[in-house]
């Protein structure tokens, strides 16, 4: 890391010149100020790590000056230097947040070591701040993007149930953000400081899944060389997120039901009853009621999981959220990947709106990332978007895509066919949409059938 030091000089010019010359030889980037006004001007503009400040600045109360610097740049570390100062004032300065305090004449090697240590502390502060920011972003309801009524409704539900100790069932198509909602619920609950464990039920076979969820005893099966805690034990006191809950085998469903009812279970191959207190958030993209009718999912487990149900809308049902989502992902990817994209053109936005998005929000983010990687300008143009978007059928109900190499009679036949398909065979509605009389439409349909036979 390149060190940047701001020297706020006082009266002892020779001593300060010696210090500055030494730091320059050490390849440290230096800034200089001789007043409070100059100091704050530099701090607002430059990436300063350390402030070396004379403790006896003219017309400046050093401790007040320290507090103002910390308020403006809490990441900056301050080292006071002075020819003479009462010990009590030095102690006050350290208590107020100064990194260190030295008197002239200074041992320059010692000062350099102190500067490097202060820089390490500043780096840790910056990293801690970044982590805290990421954590806040992860748990903030504001990270659930959407101004549509559907999303505002979901934000209200999440805010309402997060602090309540009830099980949640999240439903919706793949890519609609079920895990993000689960994260928001846990981290805004009174269990937020306790374990948060995630399990994808679809990636394990039945035997391995039971061991993952409930643990196993040594020798419980071939390869079980030692006792292992399961995910429910690890999540005790906190939350467990069971994704793809519809893929849970019936035998495992019975054991999960017991945990929900009795808050206890045994490890695979064990007899010891283990008590747990775990909140369950389950998610699925399948119709659990249909699976119940088919005998593939237990209705009693469904009702235990479905204390509160949150159904996430498909992206195609919330088109008014596209500008917000696009801006959010562009800013996010700019930060993560170092891109410098400022926005998206109207044509590109219209292309996004014209697609059905079977992969939902996840697919949108991937499409924007691809466009940003290919972009030659600071705006996303339609030509940068993935090819599947440019070749897709429009999502607008009043638009059709018809091949350009058809004759006029063929175009008419295709238009009638598509309109009947849209109206689900309702000829009155189709005639109205085509601007034809009902008898005319009947005649044309008859002609189409005759020409096809």
Domain definitions of the chain by residue range: 4-135, 143-311, 316-390, 408-452
E-strand spans in 71-174? 77-82, 100-103, 168-171
Per-position b or e across 138-152, b if 16+ CB within 10 A of its CB? ebeeeebbbebeebe
Distance linking the first and last C-alpha atoms of the chain: 79
pTM: 0.59
Residue tagged 């696009």 (tokens)? 326
In terms of DSSP H, where are the helices of 275-359? 288-293, 299-305, 322-337, 346-353
**Can you give the pLDDT at residue 367?**
94
Q: Which residues contact 127 (CB under 8 A, 6 or more apart)?
A: none
CATH topology of domain 4-135: Rossmann fold (3.40.50)
Reading the block at residue 341, the tokens are 């994209």
In terms of DSSP H, where are the helices of 140-177? 149-161
**Can you give the pLDDT at residue 405?**
66
**Can you give the pLDDT at residue 397?**
47
Task: Check for a shared fold between 4-135 and 143-311.
Answer: yes
CATH topology of domain 143-311: Rossmann fold (3.40.50)
Q: Which residues contact 71 (CB under 8 A, 6 or more apart)?
A: none
- Helix or strand holding residue 400 (H, E): none
Question: In angstroms, rounded to a whole number, what is the distance separating the alpha carbons of residues 171 and 182?
Answer: 11
Question: In angstroms, rounded to a whole number, what is the distance separating the alpha carbons of residues 309 and 169?
Answer: 5
- pLDDT tens track of the chain, all 453 residues? 578 899 998 766 777 888 888 888 888 899 988 888 899 999 999 989 999 998 888 788 888 999 999 888 988 999 988 877 677 878 888 888 888 888 877 788 888 888 888 888 888 778 777 755 555 545 455 568 888 888 889 988 998 999 899 999 999 999 999 999 999 999 889 999 999 999 999 998 888 999 999 999 988 888 888 889 999 999 999 999 999 999 999 999 999 999 999 999 999 999 999 999 999 999 999 999 999 999 999 999 999 999 999 999 999 999 889 998 999 899 989 989 989 899 899 889 998 998 889 999 999 999 999 999 999 988 899 889 988 887 655 544 455 556 566 777 778 888 888 888 777 677 877 787 787 888 888 888 888 888 776
Q: How do beta strands 279-284 and 100-103 pair?
A: unpaired
Q: Compute the half-sphere exposure of residue 10: CA atoms within 13 Å on the CB side of its CA.
A: 20
**119 burial type by CB count under 10 A (0-12 exposed, 13-18 middle, 19+ buried):** buried
Q: Which CATH architecture has domain 408-452?
A: Orthogonal Bundle (1.10)
316-390 under CATH 2.60.40.2240, yes or no:
no
Question: In angstroms, rounded to a whole number, what is the distance separating the alpha carbons of residues 35 and 59?
Answer: 9
Per-position b or e across 199-216, b if 16+ CB within 10 A of its CB? bbbeebeeeebbbbbbbb
Reading the block at residue 6, the tokens are 């701001």
């Amino acid at each position: 890391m390149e060190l940047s030091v701001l020297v706020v000089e006082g009266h002892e010019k020779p001593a300060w010149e010696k210090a500055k010359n030494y730091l320059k030889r050490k390849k440290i980037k230096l800034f200089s100020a001789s007043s409070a006004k100059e100091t704050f001007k530099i701090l607002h503009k430059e990436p300063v790590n350390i402030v070396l400040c004379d403790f006896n600045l003219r017309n400046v109360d050093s401790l007040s000056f320290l507090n103002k610097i910390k308020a403006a740049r809490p990441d900056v570390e301050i080292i006071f230097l002075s020819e003479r100062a009462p010990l009590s004032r030095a102690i006050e300065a350290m208590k107020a947040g100064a990194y260190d305090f030295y008197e002239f004449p200074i041992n320059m090697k010692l000062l350099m070591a102190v500067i490097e240590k202060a820089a390490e502390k500043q780096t840790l502060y910056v990293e801690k701040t970044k982590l805290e920011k990421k954590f806040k972003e992860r748990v903030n309801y504001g990270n659930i993007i959407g101004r549509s009524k559907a999303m505002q409704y979901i934000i209200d539900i999440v805010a309402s149930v997060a602090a309540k100790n009830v099980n949640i069932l999240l439903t919706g198509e793949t890519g609609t953000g079920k895990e993000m909602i689960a994260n928001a619920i846990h981290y805004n609950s009174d269990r937020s400081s306790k374990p948060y464990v995630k399990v994808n039920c679809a990636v394990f076979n039945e035997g391995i899944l039971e061991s993952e969820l409930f643990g196993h005893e040594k020798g419980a099966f071939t390869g079980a060389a030692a006792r292992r805690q399961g995910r429910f034990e690890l999540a005790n006191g906190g939350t467990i997120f069971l994704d793809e809950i519809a893929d849970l085998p019936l035998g495992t469903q019975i054991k999960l039901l017991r945990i929900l009812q009795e808050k206890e279970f045994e490890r695979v191959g064990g007899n010891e009853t283990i008590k747990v207190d775990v909140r369950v958030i389950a998610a699925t993209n399948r119709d659990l009621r249909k699976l119940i009718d088919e005998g593939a999912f237990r209705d009693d487990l469904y009702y235990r999981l479905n204390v509160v149900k949150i159904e996430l809308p498909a992206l195609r049902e919330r088109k008014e959220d596209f500008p917000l989502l696009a801006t959010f992902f562009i800013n996010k990817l700019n930060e993560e990947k170092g891109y410098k994209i400022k926005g998206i053109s109207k044509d590109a936005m219209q292309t996004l709106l014209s697609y059905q998005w079977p992969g939902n929000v996840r697919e949108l983010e991937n499409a924007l990332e691809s466009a940003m990687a290919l972009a030659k300008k600071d705006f996303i143009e339609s030509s940068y978007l993935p090819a599947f978007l440019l070749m897709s059928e429009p999502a607008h109900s009043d638009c059709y895509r018809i091949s350009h190499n058809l004759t006029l009679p063929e175009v008419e036949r295709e238009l009638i066919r598509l309109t009947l398909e849209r109206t689900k065979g309702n000829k009155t509605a189709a005639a109205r949409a085509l601007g034809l009389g009902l008898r005319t439409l009947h005649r044309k349909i008859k002609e189409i059938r005759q020409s096809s036979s």
